[in-house]
Amino acid sequence: MATYRSVFDAAELRAQLNDAGINTKFMASIWKYVLQNPGCELDEIPDLPSSAYRLLRTKFKPFTSTVHSVFHSTDGVTTKLLIKLQNGAFVEAVIMTYDTRLGKYGGKPRLGGPRSTLCISSQVGCKMGCKFCATGTMGFKNNLTSGEIVEQLVHASLLTNIRNVVFMGMGEPLNNYTALVEAIRVMTGSPFQLSPKRITVSTVGIIHAINKLYSDLPGLNLAVSLHAPVQEIRCQIMPSARAFPLEKLMTALQTYQKNSQQKIFIEYIMLDGMNDEEQHAHRLGKLLETFQVVVNLIPFNPIGSSSQFRTSSDQKVSDFQKILRGTYNIRTTVRKQMGQDISGACGQLVVNLPDKRTRENTSLLTDIEDLRI
């Protein structure tokens, strides 16, 4: 059986159009039509050169993935999409709704309203094997194509208006570097027009990829899963950290920040007795003193009764935050736990095919916004 490519696979579509002598300016209008008419056949797209139709019909499909099921959390603001790929594998994407009017800004009520953030997967499974993360228990299956990455945004956009994208789903994005860069370039171009400022790529700290990220994708947000202030503890929590020594990682981040002139987001999972004591907060504060960062403390989400870790108490999380803020003047937030009941929370994404009886039909949702800030 012929394998079709996703029409959102920009590199492949561009190459095929070029080979056929068709102007690549038609790419944006093809994508726009599919976005507005998700059930369409590619033959239906108007105003293309006649040679384009045969090419599209024989090589491409509007979608190579399908939404297998949609789960709505009881929190009312989290929705998980289970997406089936062309090769039969599954990935998960999570939509989170956040109201930007909550809280104050500069002493005045915030403007805005409900906003949507989409948490996207970049791989089926993951090689990194972080011990607190369910995806790591799957092992690594395969990289997603750039088209499969973009299709997650398309599927989610049919449910709600997506304003922010975070690459914090299944997989290590920088281990699928070429497809990641290609997908983000599609997302920031026509017809999606997402601002790079509203896209965040999260990494365990793949140094060689961080070193080229700014020149390939200027303007986006970088988030680093640090999770410990010293190399030894980091290696216990994240075996892959052995390949990326903390000292070298911090040097790479220094260079990245000098080039980008942007804040770096530091993700720090709170594990009881492992990395959440006052001494750890002071060490983290000293490590980050010279950087412009926002630290995001993440309460650990259990991944089943076999988990070797426990969630830090609210008091410990609060004390940790106070040290970073008070002693080191580092902006520190605590991530709100969303979607735990549908295993859509941080570190819980692992493909367990649901019982068909628990599946819900897709229905229109309200909007969301960013977790990070």
Q: What does residue 31 show for φ and ψ, rounded to 5 degrees?
A: -65, -40
Mark whether 241 and 330 lie in a shared domain. Answer: yes
Q: Assess contact for 97 and 78: CB atoms under 8 A.
A: yes
Please tell me the total count of domains within the chain. 3
Q: Provide the domain limits for residue 177.
A: 64-194
Rounded-to-integer distance, Cα 290 and Cα 270, Å: 23
Rounded-to-integer distance, Cα 320 and Cα 70, Å: 36
Of the chain, the end-to-end C-alpha distance in Å amounts to 47
346 annotated active-site: yes
Mark whether 163 and 251 lie in a shared domain. Answer: no
Q: Assess contact for 293 and 265: CB atoms under 8 A.
A: yes
Encoded tokens for 305: 């009764």
Count helices and strands (H / E) in the chain.
10, 16
Mark whether 82 and 187 lie in a shared domain. Answer: yes
Mark whether 147 and 130 lie in a shared domain. Answer: yes
HSE (side-chain half, CA atoms, 13 Å) at 93? 31
The alpha-helical segments, DSSP class H, found in 139-267 are 146-157, 177-188, 207-216, 231-237, 246-260
Q: What is the CATH number of the domain that holds 175?
A: 3.20.20.70
Residue 366, in any domain of the structure? no
Residue 281, in any domain of the structure? yes
Residue 344, in any domain of the structure? no
Residue 188, in any domain of the structure? yes
Task: Give the number of residues written for the chain.
Answer: 373
Residue with tokens 């599927």: 155
Strands 140-143 and 123-125: antiparallel
Mark whether 189 and 75 lie in a shared domain. Answer: yes
Which one of the listed residues 148, 267, 346, 369 is annotated catalytic? 346
Mark whether 22 and 85 lie in a shared domain. Answer: no
Which one of the listed residues 92, 148, 151, 182 is annotated catalytic? 92
Mark whether 147 and 219 lie in a shared domain. Answer: no
Mark whether 287 and 298 lie in a shared domain. Answer: yes
Tens of pLDDT along the chain (373 residues) come to: 568 999 999 999 999 999 999 999 999 999 999 999 999 999 999 999 999 999 999 999 999 999 999 999 888 889 999 999 999 999 999 999 876 665 545 556 666 677 899 999 999 999 998 888 878 778 899 999 999 999 999 999 999 999 999 999 999 999 999 999 999 999 999 999 999 999 999 999 999 999 999 999 999 999 999 999 999 999 999 999 999 999 999 999 999 999 999 999 999 999 999 999 999 999 999 999 999 999 999 988 876 655 789 999 999 999 999 999 999 999 999 987 655 555 544 544 455 554 433 333 333 322 222 333 3
Mark whether 202 and 332 lie in a shared domain. Answer: yes
130 annotated active-site: no
Residue 115, in any domain of the structure? yes
Last residue of a domain, one of 194, 209, 241: 194
Rounded-to-integer distance, Cα 65 and Cα 189, Å: 22
Mark whether 109 and 181 lie in a shared domain. Answer: yes
Residue 365, in any domain of the structure? no
